[in-house]
Structure formats: C-alpha cells, structure tokens
Amino acid sequence: DISLVEADGRRFCVKRALPRLKVAALWEAPIKRNAAEAAYMRAVARWLPHAVPRVLGEDTGAGWFAMDYLAPHDHPLWKAQLLDGIVDVDFAAAVGRDLAIIHARSAADPTIPAAFANDDTFEAIRIEPYLRATGRAHLELASRFDELARVTLTTKRALVHGDISPKNILHGPNGPLFLDAECATFGDPAFDLAFCLNHLLLKGAREGADRTHYGAALSALADAYLVGVDWESADGLEARAAALLPALFLARVDGKSPVEYLTRDSECEAVRRCAVPLILGPPRRVRDVADAWERER
C-alpha cells in the first residue's frame, strides 16, 4: 500500500506492506518484506545512486518507510511506454547494464548474504506463486518446475531484486530507476534477468503487437547485462536464465498472477504452445527462447 504525502511544502511517498497481496488468488506474504525493500534501496544507493529512490525514513516495527516522490512527467513508467508501443532499445540496454552493476557490486560485498537472508519471503512471493503454482496447474511439468525452484533457491551469488519488471522501472532522466524491491534476497541473479526478459516476451503476446521490436529490446537488455557478469561464468548464468524464462512465461498465464493485458484465449494458448516444449527441453541461450516465440505465429 503506497500513499503520497504532502507536508510542510514537501512531497514524498510512504509505503506499507500488506499481509495479503491484491490479486485474485489467495496470496499471503510476510510484512517484513517492507524492510527488505528499504534495505535494498539503501544498498543500491551506495553503488548506483541514480538507480533507486532515496529512503527518507523507516519504521520497521510498523512496517513502513518513506521515500522520494518522483514526478511521472519526467519519470514515466517503462511498462506504460512498452504497452503504448514505445520500445526504446537503448533504455532496455541501460536496464541490463545497471542490473549487472548491482549484481556485481553485491556479489563482491561480504555484508550482503547476512543482510538479505530472505529465503522465506522469496519462497512466499516468487517461488510458490510463479513456479510451484504453475507446476500444479501443469502436472506434466511439475518435476521441471520443482527442479527450477530448487536451483533458484540454492544458488547464492548476488543481491536479487526479485521483481525486475517494467511496472517497477521508471525511465528517469539519468537512466532506469528500480522500484518495489520487496522480494529482495541474496540469491540467484539469473532470476532477475529472466524475470525482466519475460515481460518483453509478454508484451509481444498481445494480438497485433510487433514481436520483433520487443525481441530487439530483449536482446539489447540481455547482451548489456551479460557483458557485465564478472562474478561467475556468464554462460552458466545465462543457461539458468534461459531455463527459467519459458517457465516464467507460462506462469504469467497459468500461475497465481496472470498478466492483465492478455485477455484473449488465443493469446494465452500461444504462450502455452511456445513455453511448454522449452520447459521440457530448455535452451542455454535466452535468445533461443525469443527466437522460438518469434516462430510462434
């Protein structure tokens, strides 16, 4: 729950965590995720200050924190731009570049693992609703979803945002700003990469959308990100992301949080036709997932 506050000539936002998320399916989550978000913003501000709002104050007991208000006229939402057909490939590359910087700096920071030991929250609001719930909806894929969940939860390499999606990225004057880091945990950076790339696939799933433009943005983001991977093998990380990507693609149709802009049965069926074979036989390159989606007409 977020509020705009105006007091003493100042404008700022106050955010409070709710015990139950605002989706159709029952989806509960620990309210301590609010503290994780504030901690994420403070950590990233040390490495990349333009990439997060400034935290102004916090009450961890009450479960809220205050942060800068960023006016929409010069901080448009990336999701809105993408849905309007405005596909800025250079901005997509900037998202990938900055995300890699955050992951690299956090991987080298020995304080991060203990400060972000949030597996319980990540399980509740990422692994369960996206991977486990979708596995239950597709029993023939359940073992693959279980394996993806296991690998994601046991890979500990960097500070993971957990909700890197266009609805949580502002197109700021100095580059991307990352919001809504309630899922922040020390974990697998491949999840962040796959989660964001998935939304570029999904934008192209709308009837009449030009998949080529969104595919170009996907490639730009992935390429810029992978160039910055210096804490582990870029090939290994990309293979984990490529395995997660079709699973997350299917999850946004058949998991607990389906995207609101795919309203036609034909759109959802196209996602299923593309995703299922790739989940069963995952590629090692994210571009291979995008190419398979391009062929699904």
Q: Which amino acid is at 115?
A: A
Structure tokens at 104: 């690299």
Q: What is the C-alpha to C-alpha distance for residues 272 and 52, in angstroms, rounded to an integer?
A: 35
The overall average pLDDT reported for the chain is: 93
Structure tokens at 151: 């690998």
**Domain positions in the chain:** 71-295
Evaluate if residue 236 carries a pLDDT over 60. Answer: yes
For 24-42, the pLDDT digits (tens) are 544 455 666 788 999 999 9
Evaluate if residue 143 carries a pLDDT over 60. Answer: yes
For 3-30, the pLDDT digits (tens) are 777 877 788 788 887 665 544 544 455 6
Q: What is the pLDDT of residue 8?
A: 78
Q: What is the pLDDT of residue 17?
A: 75
Q: What is the mean pLDDT of residues 132-147?
A: 98
Report DSSP letters for 129-148, one per residue: IIIIHHHHH-GGGHHHHHHH
Q: What is the pLDDT of residue 28?
A: 54
Does domain 71-295 match CATH 2.60.120.620? no
Q: What is the pLDDT of residue 4?
A: 77
Q: What is the mean pLDDT of residues 143-169?
A: 98
